[in-house]
Amino acid sequence: MVIKGLKGVMAAETKISFIDGEKGRLIYRGYAAKDLAVSKSFEEVCFLLWYNKMPDETELQTLREFMQKERYLPGFLKQILDLLPANMGLMEVLRTAVSALGTEEYKWKPTVEQAARITAIIPTIIAYRYHREKGTLPVEPRQHLSHTENYLYMLTGVIPIPSHVRALEAYMILTMEHGMNASTFSARVISSSESDLVSAVAGAIGTMKGPLHGGAPSEVTAMLSEIEEKENAEKWIRDKLARKEKLMGFGHRVYKTLDPRAASLSEIINSVGKDDKWLDLAAFVEKKAIELLEEYKPGRKLYTNVEFYAAAVMRSIDMEDELFTPTFTASRSAGWAAHILEQAEDNMIYRPEANYTGSFMKI
């Protein structure tokens, strides 16, 4: 029997993450992702995914220092980024630049050092090329800043305020890993051939680039921009629902209850949102939208999904839509690396079969 898209087919055993769509749970190595997002740093969760344990202070400091050292672009990569055509989008650029890193230091068998190195450098690639596209001077990394703080600093040239760092870091933790999705499967298939970690990550980036996977929050950011003020929210939402139009940022294909990633971001945004107009607006719009969705579509149980809060976070820090999928990629690279490491532990090359439906001809 052919199962198109391999939906529901178990292709691997994993200890990395677990998704329970019915109960709205996302688990990383035994820990609820929503709890990690509100209490841990990006680097701590990377360590958890790569080592299958929480780090002590010494282990965490060692990982931080290594990633801080590895976030700088080598000269040859800057030259490549400068020479790529102006009409290449950021995801195409990222795919090409990551591929250029595939030197001997990344050869099979993958290591945690390789995982940390590639996770550390991806935000710098994004920020460097982003400035080149805008005609502004790239901002060099600052070694003393945290991973997320440094990413925002490289994009803007300004040390970000704590509420922005907190919101973006929570988002990046919550999108680091999400089971055997399309890009993660791509990474594991490539790695199963005993190809290098760079090739596996480059293939995953190519998959993430597709609009059915990486997506963009442009419709949600447009909604928040149109509403603009809290007093406009109820009328705007009622008009939308009265026209029987979809309210973007609500409902999810996997989760049949509140998306746990959205729940965690909601908690963080409610705690820091008063410091930021757009985070405060997003928290208000969410509550009003859920109230009105129940009124217009009773019993449908349409809850906020992670895209809504991703859009709120991106809008609050003035991150343009073109940076959304690259930022998603920057966070997910840690999860891809965890799966590549796990694949190598007990490797068998993926070799599915295809059901031939063509003709048999005589010459």
Question: What is the structure's pLDDT at 265?
Answer: 75
Whether residue 74 lies inside any domain: the answer is yes
Does residue 200 sit in the same domain as residue 240?
Answer: no
What crossing angle do the helices spanning 277-296 and 218-227 adopt, rounded to 10°? 100
Does residue 119 sit in the same domain as residue 24?
Answer: yes
User: In the predicted model, is pLDDT for residue 251 greater than 80?
Assistant: no
Does residue 206 sit in the same domain as residue 330?
Answer: yes
Mean pLDDT within 257-272:
70
Whether residue 191 lies inside any domain: the answer is yes
Does residue 133 sit in the same domain as residue 29?
Answer: yes
Tell me which of 316, 337, 357 is where a domain ends. Answer: 316
Does residue 261 sit in the same domain as residue 209?
Answer: no
Whether residue 359 lies inside any domain: the answer is no
State the residue range of the domain holding 183.
4-214+325-345
Element housing 151 (H / E): helix 147-156
Q: Higher model confidence: residue 257 or residue 206? A: 206
SS3 112: helix
Question: What is the structure's pLDDT at 89?
Answer: 93
Residue range 286-325, pLDDT digits in tens: 889 888 988 888 777 777 777 787 777 777 777 888 898 8
- Residues assigned a catalytic role: 252, 307
Report how far apart, in Å, the C-alpha atoms of 1 and of each of 93, 351, 353 are.
Answer: 39, 16, 11
Please give the tally of structural domains in the chain.
Answer: 2
Question: What is the structure's pLDDT at 349?
Answer: 94
Residue 59, number of CB atoms within 10 A of its CB: 14
Question: What is the structure's pLDDT at 122?
Answer: 98
Whether residue 148 lies inside any domain: the answer is yes
Contact 306, 217 (CB under 8 A): no
Report how far apart, in Å, the C-alpha atoms of 211 and of each of 180, 207, 320, 330 are.
Answer: 18, 9, 17, 17
Query: What is the CATH number for 93?
Result: 1.10.580.10
pTM for this prediction:
0.87
Does residue 8 sit in the same domain as residue 102?
Answer: yes
Tell me which of 316, 334, 353 is where a domain ends. Answer: 316
Whether residue 160 lies inside any domain: the answer is yes
Does residue 114 sit in the same domain as residue 127?
Answer: yes
Q: Grade residue 253 by pLDDT with cuts at 50, 70 and 90.
A: low
Structure-block tokens of residue 211: 């609009």
Does residue 138 sit in the same domain as residue 285?
Answer: no
Whether residue 352 lies inside any domain: the answer is no
Question: What is the structure's pLDDT at 133?
Answer: 94
CA distance 323 to 131: 12
Structure-block tokens of residue 304: 């906020």
Question: What is the structure's pLDDT at 291?
Answer: 87
Whether residue 154 lies inside any domain: the answer is yes
Mean pLDDT within 159-182:
91
Does residue 154 sit in the same domain as residue 236?
Answer: no
Question: What is the structure's pLDDT at 194?
Answer: 95
Query: What is the CATH number for 277?
Result: 1.10.230.10
Question: What is the structure's pLDDT at 347?
Answer: 93
CA distance 47 to 334: 9
Question: What is the structure's pLDDT at 270?
Answer: 66
Question: What is the structure's pLDDT at 263?
Answer: 73
Structure-block tokens of residue 345: 């532990």
Q: Higher model confidence: residue 207 or residue 293? A: 207
Residue range 44-99, pLDDT digits in tens: 999 999 999 999 999 999 999 999 999 999 999 999 999 999 999 999 999 999 99
Mean pLDDT within 149-155:
97
Question: What is the structure's pLDDT at 252?
Answer: 56
Does residue 20 sit in the same domain as residue 132?
Answer: yes
Does residue 237 sit in the same domain as residue 333?
Answer: no
Closest CA to 100 of 21, 196, 173, 25: 196
CA distance 16 to 49: 6
Q: Grade residue 343 by pLDDT with cuts at 50, 70 and 90.
A: very high
Element housing 95 (H / E): helix 90-100
Residue 25 φ then ψ, to 5°: -120, 140
Percent of the chain predicted with pLDDT > 70: 92
Question: What is the structure's pLDDT at 50?
Answer: 98
Whether residue 351 lies inside any domain: the answer is no
CA distance 77 to 177: 27
Does residue 267 sit in the same domain as residue 330?
Answer: no
Average pLDDT, the chain: 88
